[in-house]
Structure 1
Amino acid sequence: MPTSTRTVAEELLYRIGEGDTERIAELFADDVDWKLDWPEAEHGRPATPWIRHRSTPADAAANFRELAEHHVAEGAATEVERILIDGGDAVVLGEIRRTARPTGRAYRARFALHLTVEDGRVTRFHIYEDSLAVAQAFER
């Protein structure tokens, strides 16, 4: 199991790219500070069920399963532009490109992901993304 902040962050991104939710979950601590930069009233909407609070490795696996279920795999891409490391914290900057399965609408969303790594496991997962672009892609 990787232990340095950079190695864990890079391994997490690699596993997310692979799509193996169980391997993704292995990198999360038993108690995770998980936040999404979405208005609280928008959490848990039927069109975007993955947008809700999480706190465990099983929750992390469910998040990535739900993302896959609601997006078209073909043409999906994530461009990581930079990974910044400061002690146990990592900030990943980039852009995602996906297509909403229910509507067929493609979207691009800039993101910043703030991770904290302790003892080789992710204890913080805060994602800040262009929630408007995502929401509009799923609007019917």
Structure 2
Amino acid sequence: MTATPTRTLVERLLERIGSGDPEAVAELYADDVDWLVDWPAYEHGRSETPWIRHRSTRADMADLTRLLGEYHVPGEADTQVESILVDGDDAVVFGEIRQTAKPTGRAYRSRFALHVTFQDGLVIRNHVYEDSLAVAQAFSG
């Protein structure tokens, strides 16, 4: 079966995210991005999880990747992608993230769904739905 352009793009995005290279990840995003992480509004801007804040640009996506790297223990991360659903320019990725919070040393698992939309080969929508409680507990002091 031949991969659709959207499937190829989402697989490339996942590879780049896995590499942890902020600039390589950012290259796949449009200048303006509809970005959302599904956390309670009062949780945004916490000092323990500074990557969880409003974002809307390609530069923001590079910053997000840098912060994720800074706040997690290198070599102790694993992401299991369970399925990828594609419909036109949209893709939804389901899986589980396993990370260790660098400030506390606590490991956590977070189920996730990532909804991305591509336009002209670039991500224009990046919505993440994850187990925010698991992440918050791993980072709380």
TM-score range, shorter chain: over 0.9
Q: Please state how far the C-alpha of 1:53 moved relative to its aligned partner.
A: 1.2
Q: How many positions carry a matched residue from both structures?
A: 138
Q: Does 1:55 align with 2:56?
A: yes
Q: Secondary structure at the match of 1:6?
A: helix
Q: Give the whole-Å Cα distance in 2 for the aligned partners of 1:53 and 1:7.
A: 27
What is the identity, as a one-letter code, of the residue corresponding to 1:95? E
Deviation sequence 1:105-134 (CA, Å, 0-9, x none): 000000000000011000000000000000
Q: Secondary structure at the match of 2:126?
A: strand
TM-score when normalising by structure 2: 0.96
Give the aligned partner of residue 16 of structure 1. Answer: 17
What is the identity, as a one-letter code, of the residue corresponding to 1:84? L
Give the aligned partner of residue 137 of structure 1. Answer: 138
Deviation sequence 1:65-87 (CA, Å, 0-9, x none): 00110000122100000010000
Give the aligned partner of residue 96 of structure 2. Answer: 95
Q: Give the whole-Å Cα distance in 1 for the aligned partners of 2:84 and 2:99.
A: 21
Q: Please state how far the C-alpha of 1:8 moved relative to its aligned partner.
A: 1.1
Deviation sequence 1:9-54 (CA, Å, 0-9, x none): 1001000111111010000011100000001111010000000111
Q: Please state how far the C-alpha of 1:4 moved relative to its aligned partner.
A: 1.8
Give the aligned partner of residue 26 of structure 2. Answer: 25
Q: Give the whole-Å Cα distance in 2 for the aligned partners of 1:79 and 1:18.
A: 14
Q: Secondary structure at the match of 1:11?
A: helix
Q: Give the whole-Å Cα distance in 2 for the aligned partners of 1:5 and 1:120.
A: 8
Q: Give the whole-Å Cα distance in 2 for the aligned partners of 1:60 and 1:75.
A: 22
Gaps spanning 5+ residues in structure 2: where? none
Give the aligned partner of residue 127 of structure 1. Answer: 128
* Displacement over 3 Å in runs of 4+: none
Q: Alpha carbon RMSD of aligned pairs, Å?
A: 0.9
Q: Give the whole-Å Cα distance in 2 for the aligned partners of 1:41 and 1:80.
A: 29
Q: Give the whole-Å Cα distance in 1 for the aligned partners of 2:8 and 2:35.
A: 20
TM-score when normalising by structure 1: 0.96
Q: Give the whole-Å Cα distance in 2 for the aligned partners of 1:52 and 1:80.
A: 24
Give the aligned partner of residue 36 of structure 1. Answer: 37
Give the aligned partner of residue 113 of structure 1. Answer: 114
